[in-house]
Structure 1
Amino acid sequence: MPLVTITVCKPKSLLFKETVLNAVHAALIEAGVPEKDKFQRILELDTENFRFDTRYPDLHKDRNQDFVLIEILWSVGRSVQIKKKLLDTLMKRLCDKSMNPENIMVCFRETAWENWSFAGGRLLHT
């Protein structure tokens, strides 16, 4: 069960947010996540509350106010190949929507299976 958090600078249009959310979910599905396993949120922050370097580490094109930070929290066990496939799919989908791939940062965070309670305080994987 991935939990996706997307952080952007205000203001972003519904189309912008839907484009990113849909691309992330499609990439997750191609990486083997079930289609119905969709838990996403967008944090839309004022520019003074979201700071980022425009060139780090050595970008081909500067980041701008359309910078998107995508955090994917999911269970341990996915290989580097799966993560690379997800990133390839995600970048292709966002580039197809004319988004600058240098404006997209993805961070994978992993947690043990027993750390998920999907509802009712039940630990399904213990």
Structure 2
Amino acid sequence: MPLVTLTLRQRRPAVFKAAVLDAVHAALVHTGVPADDRFQRVITLDAADAHFDPHYPDLARPRTADALLIEILWSVGRSVKLKRALLADLMQRLGALGIDTEQVMVVLQETAWENWAFAGGRQLHA
């Protein structure tokens, strides 16, 4: 039940956004998320509307206009081990696309199962 949000600071071609979202989804599926459970969105902000510290906390290279913010909202209950595996897999996939993973920030946010209603207000897991 992940909801993925990709935030960019500059306009990117549709093929780039699709490739990033495909990589995120493949990494999620690799952790056990069902293949057809795909809910994603892309937000593109002007430079004046997106402020990312260029160095925090310990980047090998400063963040640039190419920085990506990937937010994954998913149900509670996954272990730290699984989250680390997801991040390692995702970085490998993004790196294979030629993306500098030092430019990628990922935020994993958890919510209780009863907070999801996919359609018609029906809570499938409440």
Report the TM range for the smaller structure's normalisation.
Answer: over 0.9
Per the alignment, residue 47 of structure 1 pairs with 47
The yes-or-no answer on 1:60 pairing with 2:60 is yes
Amino acid at match of 1:91: M
Task: Structure 2: give runs of 5+ residues left out of the alignment.
Answer: none
Tell me how far apart the structure 1 counterparts of residues 14 and 72 of structure 2 sit (CA, whole Å).
Answer: 21
Tell me how far apart the structure 1 counterparts of residues 16 and 47 of structure 2 sit (CA, whole Å).
Answer: 17
Instruction: Note the aligned Cα RMSD (angstroms).
Output: 0.8
Tell me the CA shift for residue 22 of structure 1: 0.8
Q: Aligned residues: percent identity? A: 55
Q: How many residues align?
A: 126
TM-score between the two structures when normalised by the length of structure 1: 0.97
| SS of aligned partner of 1:69 | strand
Tell me the CA shift for residue 62 of structure 1: 1.3
30-39 vs 15-24, greater mean Cα deviation: 15-24
Per the alignment, residue 94 of structure 2 pairs with 94
Tell me the CA shift for residue 15 of structure 1: 2.2
Per the alignment, residue 85 of structure 1 pairs with 85
Tell me the CA shift for residue 10 of structure 1: 2.2
TM-score between the two structures when normalised by the length of structure 2: 0.97
| SS of aligned partner of 1:25 | helix
Task: Structure 1: give runs of 5+ residues left out of the alignment.
Answer: none
